[in-house]
Each structure stands twice: as C-alpha cells, then as structure tokens.
C-alpha cells in the first residue's frame, strides 16, 4: 500500500467503479477525471474538455438536448435550490440511440444521469455527474406494461376463442389469411388506370366473407372489427373520384386485421400444449356443430327479418363420424343460407299465402352401416330454381338406366350447378352478390363431395315442402 499515492487511489476508484462518474464545469465541459465505466456505459470514447452535450448529439432527440442545456445552467445558479432544480433533470431516464455505420438506428440503451453540485467557498465550482445503465429494469417494466395490455385484450378474445373447436378456428385463420393475401394482391396489382371501385368491391367481398365466417364462430371481437372496416369501405365506394390516398385507412386497418390473426395464431400456439386437457371432447365438438348452425339460423333470420323455428330434435351428431363433421358443417351452412334467403318467406308474405308467419326449418341426421348424412327441410316457397331442378332431375332420370339410382353423382353435380347458378335467381344486386358468394363456397364443397363419393338429392312433395338430402359413405 506504500506505493499508492492519493492520486492513484482516486484512479483505482475511478477505474473500478461500476457507475459512470464525471465532472462538468460551468461550460458543460467534461473535466479530466472520470471513471472508466463512464465511457463503457456511453459506448464511446470521451476526451478531456469535451462538451458533455456533444455526447448527447445524435444519441437523444433535440428537445432533450435543449432541456439539458437549460437544466445544467440552472444547476450552476446559486440562487436556486439543488433539489428543486434536480426535479427538472431531463436525463433522469433517457433513451440513448445507437446507429449502424449507415447512420440507421439499430439499438437503444436507457441511461440514468444524476447531478450534484460541488461547492467550494460557497460557490458552485462544478457538477459531479453519475450515470447508470438502467436498460434492464426499464425494458422489463415496458415489457410488463405491454404484456398487461396484451393480456387484457386477449383475455376478451380467449373467452370467444375457447368456445370454438380448434379445427374450426384453424380453418377460420387459414381461410382469412388466404382472403387477406388476395386483398393484398389486388391492391398490389393496381395500375393507375384501373377502376378503383372494382378493387373496392373485391376488397369488400373478401372482408364480408371473413366477417360472415367470424360471425358463425361467434368471434365477436373479430366480427366487430371486420364490420366496421366493411362499412368504411362501403362509404368509400360511394365517393366519386377515389384516389390511391383514399385507401390509406383501408391499408392500415388491413395491417391491424393481419396483426389480429397473427395474435390469434400465437394464442392457439400457446394453448397447443394444453390441447389434451382443454380440447373439447368429440361429443362436445359435435355439439359445436349444432350450435354453429343454430347461430347461423338465428343471425340470418334477424338480418332478413324472418321468423324461423329451427327444429333440431332429430339432429344426432353421433350418427356423423368425426371425420365427416367438417364437410357436413360446410354443406349445412350453404343449404341453410340458401333456404332462408330464398325459401322461407317474410312473415307478411307467409300471411298473405295463408301460412303461419313463422317458417319451419328442420334438420335430421341419419346413419346406416355404410352411409350417413342429413336431411334439411323447409316449408317455404318453391323458387324457380327448385322447379328447374325438378325438371333437370326428371330429364336426367329419363336418360339414365332405370335400374340406376335416380340421383347419381352426375346428377348431384348438375343439381348443385343449377342450384347455385347465379344467373337463375338474381333479382337484386345484393342478392346477386350473395349468390355469387354461395356459389364460390359451393365450388369447394362440390369438389369435397366428389372426393368423398357423396350424393345430393332434392325432393318436393308439395308446394310447401322442400327437402335436401346429403349422404356420404362412412368408409
């Protein structure tokens, strides 16, 4: 210890301190003694006499630099109280920005500076400054705040999501992502000369489709977002001379929707390992199938101002093998949509035809050794399409072998083609759009039906009765 002079002791202290320590004169210059940690924390070399504010340049925003100048000047004023001035310290927690060699921001550090006056003979001769790296606690606090915010939002989502069977939710996310990609592609392909209204119509159609799907699964948080967006696009479509800038709200909201889907996927991923305990039983999933179609009937009846009694007493989902539930769900949704839209009349129409104001829609499942399926009946009017269908069936029947089943695969596809052909029943534009939507859905289902060697049959026994039968081989 003999060879340690007071000077070198100070140096050792300055070299070993974990805190950055430095001194500033009244010109805000760094005096020659400062701790090694000071340079390390700032990630830059410091030279004696260097102006402290130089160290802040390009590291912190201009307003903080201006406030620091003012604050340091106040620190040197003897007529002001030290503690009071310190409350104005703009560097008490400050984000230091670091750039790459191109000058582009790459990372940040959060630093905490404190300043004390050094007084000699009742005069403030300099300031002693200390700096600590508080990145970890600051980022941790921010992260906790973010998590809290996300958790609050996602808890509401979870209430919705956990009610939906995982395969249905996955399908919903996949289909929605495909729709969003289509929208992105439409927007990307836009040439200045194109009609923006055509693009808007396509965007609205996709969003409407996604909204319907979300509504069927009772994903209210998503439905609300999509409906608000669709409404905004409808309003935009009414505008004359739509320019590219008018699409700014659309593209921002699409970004938010994409982010929501990403969050849903993350939630699904996080809950994947709970799938064995949280996954609904197959019996429960069968119940979900029924609940989905009940929701659909209720929603469509409300939207179309129709009164419908939906009879599901003969619907036994256990008769449908688990592997077939998805395709049955798709068929049910499409046929229900069609029956309510075209078949079942409004209470006023029904009264004028001497019918009860409440229409009847019934679904019944059946299962045999090698065949399973469902029948969907309604007591609404027989529309022109159905009459055409009857003729088609008769026509195909007369051409077919007498021993052959009346409704063959070929007929099934012909029936579906006619049933969902847009040109056959498009009294208004909205109906035309609606039919096109169903037609699009039907294309996929048709392929699936063919793949599963399934059959469709349509029966009319009176002017007030129409029954669709869908059957699939069990194996």
Query: Residues in the site for another protein, rule: CB under 8 A?
Result: 58, 61-64, 66, 97, 99, 102-105, 108, 184, 187-188, 190, 192, 196, 199, 243-245, 247-249, 251-252, 254-255, 258-259
Q: How many whole angstroms separate alpha carbon 211 and alpha carbon 14?
A: 65
Give least dist CB 260 to another protein, A.
Answer: 13
Give the H/E segment covering residue 348: helix 347-352
CB closer to another protein, 206 vs 325? 206
Give least dist CB 138 to another protein, A.
Answer: 15
Give the H/E segment covering residue 183: helix 166-189
Give least dist CB 436 to another protein, A.
Answer: 23
φ, ψ (nearest 5 deg) of residue 304: -100, 10
Give least dist CB 105 to another protein, A.
Answer: 4
CB closer to another protein, 173 vs 187? 187
Q: How many whole angstroms separate alpha carbon 159 and alpha carbon 145?
A: 22
Long-range CB pairs of 181-187 (<8 Å, 24+ gap) are 182/206, 183/207, 183/254, 184/254, 187/247, 187/251
Q: Residues 185, 189, 190, 193: what is their CA dihedral angle, to the nearest 10 degrees? A: -160
CB closer to another protein, 64 vs 74? 64
CB closer to another protein, 15 vs 107? 107
Give least dist CB 104 to another protein, A.
Answer: 3
CB closer to another protein, 102 vs 274? 102
CB closer to another protein, 34 vs 110? 110
Candidates 190, 188, 223; CA nearest to 208 is 223
Give least dist CB 241 to another protein, A.
Answer: 12
Is there a contact between 129 and 22 (Cβ–Cβ < 8 Å)? yes
* CA-derived radius of gyration, the chain: 36
Question: By three-state DSSP, how is residue 36 classified?
Answer: helix
CB closer to another protein, 105 vs 274? 105
How many other β-carbons are positioned within 10 Å of the β-carbon of residue 280?
A: 15
Q: How many whole angstroms separate alpha carbon 172 and alpha carbon 210?
A: 8
Residue 72: both structure tokens together? 């340091």
CB closer to another protein, 104 vs 155? 104
Is there a contact between 312 and 363 (Cβ–Cβ < 8 Å)? yes
Give least dist CB 201 to another protein, A.
Answer: 14
Give least dist CB 428 to another protein, A.
Answer: 29
Q: How many whole angstroms separate alpha carbon 253 and alpha carbon 235?
A: 15
């Amino acid at each position: 210890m003999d060879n340690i002079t007071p000077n070198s002791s100070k140096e050792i202290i300055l070299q070993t301190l974990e805190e950055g320590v430095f001194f500033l004169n009244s010109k805000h210059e760094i005096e020659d003694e400062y701790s090694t940690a000071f340079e390390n924390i700032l990630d830059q070399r410091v030279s004696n006499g260097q102006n402290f504010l130089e160290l802040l340049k390009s590291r912190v925003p201009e307003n903080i630099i201006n406030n620091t100048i003012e604050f340091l000047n106040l620190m040197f004023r003897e007529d002001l109280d030290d503690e009071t001035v310190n409350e104005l310290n703009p560097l008490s927690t400050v984000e230091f920005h670091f750039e790459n060699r191109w000058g582009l921001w790459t990372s940040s550090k959060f630093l905490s500076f404190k300043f004390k006056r050094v007084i000699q003979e009742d005069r403030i001769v300099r300031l002693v400054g200390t700096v600590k790296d508080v990145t970890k606690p600051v980022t941790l606090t921010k992260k906790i705040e973010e998590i809290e915010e996300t958790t609050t939002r996602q808890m509401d989502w979870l209430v919705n999501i956990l009610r939906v069977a995982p395969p249905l939710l996955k399908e919903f996310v996949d289909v929605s992502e495909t729709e969003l990609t289509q929208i992105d592609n439409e927007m990307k392909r836009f040439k200045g000369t194109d009609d923006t209204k055509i693009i808007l119509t396509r965007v609205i159609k996709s969003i409407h489709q996604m909204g319907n799907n979300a509504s069927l699964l009772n994903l209210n948080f998503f439905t609300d977002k999509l409906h608000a967006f669709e409404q905004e696009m409808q309003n935009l479509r009414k505008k004359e001379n739509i320019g590219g800038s008018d699409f700014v709200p659309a593209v921002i909201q699409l970004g938010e929707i994409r982010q929501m889907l990403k969050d849903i996927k993350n939630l699904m991923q996080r809950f994947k390992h709970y799938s064995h305990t949280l996954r609904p039983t197959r019996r429960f999933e069968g119940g979900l199938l029924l609940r989905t179609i009940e929701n659909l009937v209720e929603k469509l009846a409300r939207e179309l101002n129709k009164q419908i009694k939906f009879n599901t007493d003969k619907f036994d989902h256990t008769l449908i093998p688990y592997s077939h539930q998805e395709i049955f769900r798709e068929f049910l949704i499409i046929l229900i949509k069609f029956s309510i839209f075209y078949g079942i009349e409004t209470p006023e129409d029904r009264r004028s035809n001497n019918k009860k104001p409440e229409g009847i829609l019934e679904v019944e499942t059946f299962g045999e050794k090698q065949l399973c399926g469902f029948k969907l009946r309604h007591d609404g009017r027989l529309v022109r399409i159905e009459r055409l269908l009857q003729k088609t069936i008769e026509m195909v029947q007369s051409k077919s072998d007498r021993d052959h089943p009346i409704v063959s695969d070929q007929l099934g596809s012909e029936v579906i083609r006619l049933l969902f052909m847009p040109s056959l029943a498009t009294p208004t534009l909205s109906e035309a759009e609606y039919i096109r939507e169903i037609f699009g859905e039907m294309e996929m289902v048709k392929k699936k039906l063919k793949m599963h060697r399934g059959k469709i049959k349509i029966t009319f026994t009176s002017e007030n009765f129409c029954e669709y039968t869908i059957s699939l081989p069990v194996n």
